[in-house]
Every structure is written in C-alpha cells, then in structure tokens.
C-alpha cells in the first residue's frame, strides 16, 4: 500500500502553499503528490509562480508528481488553461472534469475522485482510454471497491484515506454569497477559512464544510482500521487530503500503521492529537458518511445484505 497526497483544496497563502509542498518533499513518506488548483480557477494566479519550484523539489526528492485539473470548467479561459496543461508532455494530468478527456486523447493519465466511477464497466471505459490510475469517489462502499479493483488488476486504484471528504462542486460560490458578494467580486473571502467553514444543522451540530464553490464533509475520513481490508480488495494507494494540521506527521502515522510499526489504536490516538476533528468511515460500510463504525462485524453483515 502506497500513499498519495491529494491537492490542497483550500485557499492558502501562496508562500504557505509553497512551503507546505517543500516540507512534504523533504520529510513526508509520500509516494505520489497531486499539485494544482482544482477548486476555483480564480485562485490559480496566486500559486502559479510557485508551481515550477514545487514540482522540481518534489521530483528531486523522489515523489511522482501529478497535475490536477479543475473539477468544474465553465469559462473559456478555464478550458484554455486545462488544454495547455493536457498538452504538456512532461506532466501527467489527473482528470477531475470529463471535458479534459477530449484534450488528452488516449494519452496516459489519472482519474480523480470527482469523476463518478461507481462500477467496473465505467472503470474499464476510462482504462481503455488511457487511465492508468483511478482514485475512486469517497462515497463508495468496500464491496463496490473490491468488485471494481478486481476487474482491472493492471490499474492503480486509490481510495480517499484521510481528510474532509469532497462531496460536491457548484457553479455558485458559497463563501461569496455568505458575505453578500458576487462570485465575480468575491474578494477571495474563502482565504479566511483555510480549513473550510463549518456548516451546522438546525440542531446546531456541525455537519458539512464549505470551501468557496465546494462542499466537503465536516468529519475527517480515517481508514486506518480498514487498511488490511482495502489492501485485500486490491487498493494500491491511500489518498491523504491536506488539512490545517501537520500533514507530515499524518503521513508518518499512515505509513507506520501500513508497515506494522504502530497498531491501529496507536495510530488513531496520534491522529486525534494531530487533527482534533471527529473521524468518519461510514461510506466504506454503506452507512451514512458522517458516522464512524466501530462494530465492524455488524456493519459488514448489513452491508452484504444490501
């Protein structure tokens, strides 16, 4: 089992974004790193000047670098930017918007978790057009993951292993609307919430998090207890999504649990200290994604019944 670092989903200060990747390059036991602005193209200019240095540092430290596409393209300039990225022969693109497939032709590429791959037939379609690695959507149960991975043993399958799970993308900006601003004149207010802004239910319980045009879970996905099951199911990499915490330490915890250097309980205790947010693994058991399953035997039994 390898580790992938997903792209930063939030609007971080450019220098903090750059320095984050520099530290990942030099200290984190990560195999593959996805780089780029995938949520909102208006943020792209802030990090653009740092991308070459980040890619160079990551590559020099032995990381495989993948460039993420936008999740939703709606403007001509966005399409042009993604066409330019797709045309770069030295880079591997991770497709998050299906429009990018036409730009790539059948050249080798990756598929991100924002593309709805819910069965083996869909996975086979993408593989037949050049997809070499596929990060499955975070809402898939383990039974579906096992079936899809078994159908394509030559494809590297990845699942969402840590972080607030990305759930939806919109053409409207929630952060702008909340602050009574238009999307075109948002003043980049999303930078005020570098870990997302909690959304509460009517009972005042945190349920979701918003990040500009994106909706995420409030709870942090944690699959430490399912690593053996995911390995047996054919998953070859876990995706760690950057949060406002020490992601180098998060990567070390996952690497240690995978390698048997820490128990699941020890790893879970360490994660609670590193990122003190409620954890969730419900999707893997066909349960509500915001829940954390501890009675695994019962959850697996009911999931099979479904």
Instruction: For residue 133, report the phi and psi dihedrals to the nearest 5 degrees.
Output: -145, 145
Geometric angle at alpha carbon 69, from 68 and 70, rounded to 5°: 125
Distance between alpha carbon 63 and the CA centroid of its chain, in Å?
Answer: 17
Q: Is 100 annotated as a binding residue?
A: no
Whole-angstrom distance, CA of residue 189 vs CA of residue 201: 23
Whole-angstrom distance, CA of residue 238 vs CA of residue 253: 13
Dihedral (Cα; 137, 138, 144, 149), 10-degree rounding: 60
Whole-angstrom distance, CA of residue 270 vs CA of residue 275: 9
The secondary structure of 37-99, three-state, reads CCCCHHHHHHHHCCHHHHHHHHHHCCCEEEEECCCCCCCHHHHHHHHHHHHCCCCEEEECCCH
Whole-angstrom distance, CA of residue 110 vs CA of residue 35: 13
- CA atoms within 13 Å, Cβ hemisphere of 276: 1
Task: Show Cβ contacts of residue 252 under 8 Å, excluding neighbours closer than 6 positions.
Answer: 28, 29
Q: What is the DSSP string of 229-248?
A: HHHHTT--EEEEPP-SS-HH
Annotated binding site: 40, 173, 186, 190
Q: Cite the annotated binding site for [4Fe-4S] cluster by residue number.
A: 40, 173, 186, 190
């Amino acid at each position: 089992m390898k580790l992938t670092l997903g792209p930063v989903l939030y609007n971080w200060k450019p220098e903090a974004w750059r320095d984050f990747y520099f530290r990942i390059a030099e200290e984190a036991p990560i195999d593959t790193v996805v780089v780029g602005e995938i949520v909102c193209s208006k943020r792209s200019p802030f990090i653009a000047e740092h991308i070459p240095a980040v890619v160079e540092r990551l590559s020099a430290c032995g990381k495989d670098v993948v460039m993420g596409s936008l999740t939703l393209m709606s403007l001509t300039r966005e399409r042009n930017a993604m066409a330019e990225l797709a045309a770069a022969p030295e880079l591997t693109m991770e497709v998050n918007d299906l429009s990018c497939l036409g730009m790539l032709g059948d050249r080798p590429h990756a598929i991100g978790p924002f593309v709805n791959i819910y069965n083996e037939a869909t996975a086979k379609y993408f593989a037949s057009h050049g997809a070499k690695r596929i990060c499955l959507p975070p809402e898939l149960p383990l039974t579906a993951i096992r079936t899809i991975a078994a159908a394509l043993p030559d494809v590297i399958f990845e699942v969402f292993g840590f972080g607030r799970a990305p759930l939806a993308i919109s053409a409207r900006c929630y952060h702008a609307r909340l602050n009574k601003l238009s999307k075109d004149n948002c003043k980049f207010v999303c930078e005020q919430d570098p870990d997302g802004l909690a959304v509460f239910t009517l009972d005042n319980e945190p349920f979701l998090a918003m990040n500009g045009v994106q909706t995420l879970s409030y709870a942090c996905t944690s699959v430490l207890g399912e690593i053996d099951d995911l390995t047996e199911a054919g998953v070859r990499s876990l995706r760690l999504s950057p949060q406002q915490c020490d992601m180098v330490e998060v990567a070390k915890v996952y690497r240690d649990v995978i390698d048997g250097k820490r128990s699941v309980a020890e790893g879970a205790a360490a994660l609670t200290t590193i990122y003190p947010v409620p954890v969730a693994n419900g999707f893997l058991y066909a349960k509500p994604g915001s829940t954390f399953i501890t009675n695994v035997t019962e959850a697996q039994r009911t999931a099979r019944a479904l």
